[in-house]
Structure 1
Amino acid sequence: MKKVIVFILAFAQTIVYAQQKQVKDNFNVRIRLEKGDLNNDGLTDKTVITMDTIDAAVPLRLQIFLLQPNKQFKMIFSSTDVIEPQYVNGIHTKNTIPYFFIEKGFLVMNSEKNDVRYQHKFIYKNGVFQLVKISSVIYDGKNSTIETVFDLLAGVRTETLKSLGSEKILKKNVKKIMIRPLPTLQNLRNFGNKLDLER
């Protein structure tokens, strides 16, 4: 009986090992690499976006690394959910691949979706990236743009209508909106358009 149990356990371990071998990391094409000091320790950290060209959806992975005092990089974030795949149900999304860069201690994401330009600004705190500001610019197709800035720390959303190619303000709307807890990079997609379109 003991021999049968040992055989079953060994067989089960072989199956698990075989399954693990089949799961291959195909994110082997680097799309973007940006560097900067993310946690204000004087060391140059980095963000890396890689693409899986084997998967039909062509998913993208964002990884963030902090440089350690021993000059080794430590990965503090890795996700394939932050950036949507290039294809959904076999159809190209036509959305640009976001730029992630580090500026004055903030992680900044510039992206464009459905002809709307977005900027998300995150701060690294207690092991998570908290969203502290989001802004967008929309061209109305005529002669004006709508610029929206949502300061999540202050809870103030400002929408400004401007003449195209000018700083002249045609209309301005300020609204108080408090969101707590703050969204994080990890759960950003779960919030959908709530942050962008809340009026």
Structure 2
Amino acid sequence: MKKIIVLILAFTQTIVYAQQKKVKDNFNVQIRLEKGDLNKDGLIDKTVITMDTIDTTVPLRLQIFLLQPNKKFKMVFSSTDVIEPKYVNGVHAKNQIPYFFIENGFLLMNTEKNDVRFEYKFIYKNGTFQLIKVSSVVYDGQNATTETVFDLLTGVRTETTTLLGSAKILKKNTKKMMIRPLPTLQNLRTLGNKLD
């Protein structure tokens, strides 16, 4: 339970910091572009990450666009709050810029923070991106990894520790914890309060 709270709070702290900053709309460098069918309508949608190189914090903006039948893109999400700026208080944040993928109708965010790999899985529903799964993988620095998977739809959180290079399970814990309503990409910063 503590690891999943740390996992979510790490992401939450990034968003809270970004919301405290007033960011200019001068995002002039495209960092990442990913395409896929997000809403299962057969049209190829896209996610775009751009960087503001004028602002000293070097903020990053995530935008998500749905392709319309008229072949024009409609922006359904835009935020500078999702990704931590490259510089915090004048110091390089040293965090990886996340990857956003569209696979099988889901929005996936893969990132790494403090040597822990995270994946967030969202579904686009009723105009929002609902968080439905969070997972992390942690290496203990010796001979084992611990994978934590929290399925928010079922409320099942499973933590499995295995030996490196082996399928042998050293430890497995399963807990149930329902969170309703589901957190969204738009309000993910409030999730930490629901886990207390």
- Alpha-carbon RMSD across the aligned residues, in angstroms, is 1.6
Amino acid at match of 2:132: V
**5+ long unaligned stretches in structure 2:** 1-22
> What SS class does the counterpart of residue 27 from structure 1 fall into?
coil
Q: TM-score, normalised by structure 2?
A: 0.85
Report if the CA contact (8 A) 1:57-1:88 is conserved: yes
- Larger RCO, structures 1/2 (Cα 8 Å, 6+ apart): 2
Tell me, in whole angstroms, the C-alpha distance in 2 between the residues paired with 1:143 and 1:151: 27
Amino acid at match of 2:106: F
Report if the CA contact (8 A) 2:105-2:123 is conserved: yes
> What SS class does the counterpart of residue 70 from structure 2 fall into?
coil
Tell me, in whole angstroms, the C-alpha distance in 2 between the residues paired with 1:185 and 1:67: 20
* Counterpart check, 1:89 vs 2:81: no
- Offset of 1:165 from its aligned partner? 1.8
* Counterpart check, 1:130 vs 2:144: no
* Equivalent residue, structure 1, for 2:182: 182
Tell me, in whole angstroms, the C-alpha distance in 2 between the residues paired with 1:44 and 1:33: 12
Q: TM-score, normalised by structure 1?
A: 0.84
After TM superposition, which residue ranges in structure 1, 4 or more long, deviate above 3 angstroms? 192-195
Report if the CA contact (8 A) 1:49-1:60 is conserved: yes
Higher Rg:
1
**5+ long unaligned stretches in structure 1:** 1-22
- Percentage of identical aligned residues: 80
Q: Which range moves more in the overlay, 180-189 or 60-69?
A: 180-189
Report if the CA contact (8 A) 2:62-2:78 is conserved: yes
* Equivalent residue, structure 1, for 2:143: 143
Report if the CA contact (8 A) 1:87-1:93 is conserved: yes
* Equivalent residue, structure 2, for 1:50: 50
> What SS class does the counterpart of residue 191 from structure 1 fall into?
helix
Report if the CA contact (8 A) 2:24-2:55 is conserved: no
* Equivalent residue, structure 2, for 1:76: 76
Tell me, in whole angstroms, the C-alpha distance in 2 between the residues paired with 1:49 and 1:107: 14
* Equivalent residue, structure 1, for 2:170: 170
